[in-house]
Amino acid sequence: MKNKLEAIRKKYGITQEELADVMEVSRQTICSLEKGRYNPSILLAFKLAHYFHMTIEDIFIYEEDFCAEILEKWKTDRECRYYYRSSAMLCTGIHMCYICDAG
């Protein structure tokens, strides 16, 4: 997920390590978030927004095309599969997993 976390963190003069300590996550998690390799849980997204006195939308960028692709696959794929929390959160705004029964 694209985000402005690195720019915001640097604007406040905070290191990845310092932010990780406050958020109770690893420095690697903050690094992965900043690089867009990791989507935060809804709780972490709220904690970051609260910490910087911003909204979640001020930090994280909603990617509508990605969501449409995930939801279309979810509607048409007949195999049993799991959608991980990050994708579900991105598309629905809530922290949950989708499970589809094969049938």
| Torsion angles phi and psi, residue 3, rounded to 5 | -160, 170
Q: Sorting pLDDT into bands at 50, 70 and 90, what band is 75?
A: low
CB 56 within 8 A of CB 49: yes
Q: Looking at the structure, do residues 55 and 71 belong to the same domain, yes or no?
A: no
Task: Indicate if 45 and 68 belong to the same structural domain.
Answer: no
Query: For residue 95, what are the domain limits?
Result: 64-99
DSSP strand E in the chain: where?
A: 82-83, 98-99
Q: Which residue has the higher pLDDT, 86 or 70?
A: 70
Closest C-alpha among 7, 10, 11 to residue 36: 7
Residues 10-68 pLDDT 10s: 999 999 999 999 999 999 999 999 998 989 999 999 999 999 999 999 999 877 655 66
Beta pairing partners, 60: 3
The pLDDT of residue 61: 85
Within this chain, do residues 39 and 76 fall inside the same structural domain, yes or no? no
**Within this chain, do residues 69 and 82 fall inside the same structural domain, yes or no?**
yes
